[in-house]
Amino acid sequence: MTTADLRSLITAKLKENPDHGFHTLDLDRIKDEKYLKRVMKHCENDPKQGADMLWEIFSWRKSVSANEINETNIRMDYILEGGFFPHGRDIDGCLLLIVKSKKHVKGTKDFEELKKVIIYWFDRIEREENGNKITLFFDLDGCGLNNMDMELIKYVISLFKCYYPSFLNYILIYNMPWVLSAAFKIVKTLLPARAVEKMKFISQESLHEFVTPDQALTSWGGQDNYEFEFVPEGKGSTPKKVTFAEQGDHSPGEMLRLNPNNLIIFKNENEEVTGQFTITNMDDGAVSFKIRTTSPEKFRVRPSSGILTKGATQTILIVVQPGFQLRNVMKDMFLVMSVQIPKTDLSQKELSDIWANSSGSKVDEYRLKCQFPVKDLPKNGNLEVVNHEKPESVANALNNLQMNYEILHRQVDKLKLYQFLTLLVTCVAVILGFLVYQNTNDNDNNKYCERI
């Protein structure tokens, strides 16, 4: 089954119900191939379920006036409080939507207004991330029962389940107090079986498995000292990154030809680790291109954007910054985006407007994986190049090393537990022995007194 089947079914359903009153922006989603792929993936490639889901999405968005929700008609005091905001990326490059639960006290806010704030963030992120998946991060550090709002959590989960298809990467629950464990067992029952696997309970020690230190807030033990400050939409946002969740269902565009077309091989040259590829404009007219990466802080891309006339070729040079994290090397990717432009002598504002108004099927996307043949990691943290013939063996060696480290870490934790239990049993035995000894002495004294 394809997206064409889904498009046909929902179009027929709309014709059968001409008085639906759905918003034109929502109906435009039917033309967006990427959005339809999200729906199909969410519905396990069942076009009938997909058409029903689209109808439910359009109906819900109409009922809540989702397309009219903006910064002028929501409770900005709720926004500025900083209890709910996007920042940072997970290990797959997906944006984190952070819920600072300590800032929320159940029953103190107008729930309908709070829902509008949540819809605002979901819609804004969906636009800014071009529909790529996000990770819901519950920061429960320092929370108590009064911060646990099950109605709010149910609502957020319902958005992922019913109205934002294939939008969830992980649900990360950080530093959950034991008093809230029963509540989150209920949360698990609200999730489909596939989503339960996405729910991860993490601590400061295990955070690095899902969020790298450079993307983690300092309050979590990370390196990012970001403090929430609201930035209006369109005046700045979190840099977009490629997500691994899309590797399997992505079809490259046709405007550009990339060489190599799917893999950048990095080399060590003049004490710098560099890689390069070329892009050629295969379109009938001029195109503008942009290049994004999962880790913008780790690479210098030259150039990262530009304009190509018909048939023109551009070489892209990528330089790895000093101190590059070895563990994250194998997960990095690059995204090349292109859009048609009417002429080559556009002003910066005209070019920005074209990109701002281009989305979905108007933008061609091409993904490139990275190959870093690594022998070992020098003291300065940079990479060294080895034989390119067997990169798979290097990746396997790294994976095995990581697995052995995690196994050893678990064994140490078990050993600490055994030591604690041994000490506890010893203490109990000593106390019981003392009590028995004391009791025996008391009995002997009693007998002695009786004889007297």
Which tens digit of pLDDT belongs to each residue from 220-277?
999 888 889 888 887 654 444 444 444 444 445 678 999 988 888 888 877 788 889 9
Digit-coded pLDDT (tens) for 61-111: 999 999 999 999 999 999 999 999 999 999 888 899 999 988 888 889 999
Does 47 have pLDDT greater than 70?
Answer: yes
Q: Please tell me which residue, 400 or 17, carries the higher pLDDT value.
A: 17
Share of the chain above pLDDT 90, in %: 38
pLDDT at 239: 47
pLDDT at 374: 57
Most confident of 88-97, 113-122, 350-359, 402-411: 113-122
What's the whole-model pTM score?
0.57
Digit-coded pLDDT (tens) for 280-329: 999 888 999 999 887 777 888 888 889 999 999 999 999 888 766 544 44
Digit-coded pLDDT (tens) for 180-208: 777 777 777 777 777 778 889 999 999 99
Does 419 have pLDDT greater than 70?
Answer: yes
Q: For 5-34, what is the mean pLDDT? A: 94
Does 21 have pLDDT greater than 70?
Answer: yes
Report d(CA 166, CA 159) in Å as an integer: 11
| Average pLDDT of the chain, as a whole number | 81
Does 22 have pLDDT greater than 90?
Answer: yes
pLDDT at 373: 58
pLDDT at 246: 45
Digit-coded pLDDT (tens) for 131-158: 999 999 999 988 888 888 888 888 998 9
Q: Please tell me which residue, 324 or 19, carries the higher pLDDT value.
A: 19
pLDDT at 187: 75
Report d(CA 268, CA 377) in Å as an integer: 13
Does 162 have pLDDT greater than 60?
Answer: yes
Read off the pLDDT band of 369 (50, 70, 90).
Answer: confident
pLDDT at 163: 96
Q: For 414-419, what is the mean pLDDT? A: 72
pLDDT at 411: 67
Does 392 have pLDDT greater than 60?
Answer: no
pLDDT at 38: 94
